[in-house]
Amino acid sequence: ATVIRDPDRPDKFTWPCAASGTYSAISTCNRLCQELPVCHYASAIWRSWAPLKCKIFTWLAAQYRIWTSDRRARHGLQDTASACFTCLQEEDNVDHIFMQCVYAQETWHCCLDAIQLPIQRPATTDTFLGWWMLHGQQFRKAGKRFLLLCYLDSVVLVEAKKRLRLRPSGAANGRANVGR
């Protein structure tokens, strides 16, 4: 293919992402986001009234990107995954820390009783994201107010962040410093 350029005519720039051929930021954004997978829990996390650090933390937890011992073992930073530092019963992973640990169960029980929401307590087999999305969906189906749904989302985010903060300080390094 040969390009023939007429030196007497000015160059013309057309933007392929817009029907009009003119550049706009929205057309670029739409083109970039066109084939991205839909994340069903993103709006629940980012629209909540929780502090930003809780939103970021929950976003990472929902994607299993928190540095628990099982993740450190998967990345070769630790030989094997260790037991939970609070109960010493199960493997330390996101779902166990937030839903399945006996201390997590007690935390959710106290928290949900305090705010008096008619929500089933998490079972020891529930996953963090599965339980949260299921109960958020029940509120949406029942036609509950948006305010109540945002409240539930905010409580879940803040409690999840508190839950990790209550772990011993050495838990992030792979050793428990319980005596401090």
Residues 6+ apart with CB under 8 A from 71: 64, 65, 93
Amino acid identity for residue 65 in this structure: R
For residue 68, being part of any structural domain is answered with: yes
Look at the chain and report how many structural domains it folds into. Answer: 1
Is 48 exposed, middle or buried (CB count within 10 Å of its CB: 0-12, 13-18, 19+)?
Answer: buried
Q: Give the pLDDT of residue 176.
A: 46
Per-residue pLDDT at 15 exceeds 80: yes
Q: Return the higher-pLDDT residue of 49 and 126.
A: 126
For residue 28, being part of any structural domain is answered with: no
For residue 72, being part of any structural domain is answered with: yes
Residue with tokens 């502090």: 51
Per-residue pLDDT at 141 exceeds 70: no
Q: Across residues 138-148, what is the average pLDDT?
A: 56
Two tokens at 177? 């410093």
SS (H, E, C) 81-123: CCECCCCCCCECCHHHHHHHCHHHHHHHHHHHHHHCCCCCCCC
Percent of the chain with pLDDT over 90: 1
For residue 16, being part of any structural domain is answered with: no
Q: Give the pLDDT of residue 166.
A: 56
- What is the distance between the alpha carbons of residues 72 and 66, in angstroms, rounded to a whole number? 9
Q: Give the pLDDT of residue 78.
A: 84
For residue 33, being part of any structural domain is answered with: no
- Interior/surface letters 106-122, b for 16+ CB within 10 angstroms, e for the rest: ebbeebbeeeeeebeeb
Domain that holds residue 84: 42-173
For residue 145, being part of any structural domain is answered with: yes
pLDDT in tens, 36-86: 778 888 887 887 777 888 888 888 988 889 888 888 888 888 888 888 888
For residue 6, being part of any structural domain is answered with: no
- What is the distance between the alpha carbons of residues 140 and 179, in angstroms, rounded to a whole number? 45
Per-residue pLDDT at 179 exceeds 50: no
Per-residue pLDDT at 22 exceeds 60: yes
For residue 130, being part of any structural domain is answered with: yes
Two tokens at 28? 């670029």
- What is the distance between the alpha carbons of residues 163 and 152, in angstroms, rounded to a whole number? 16
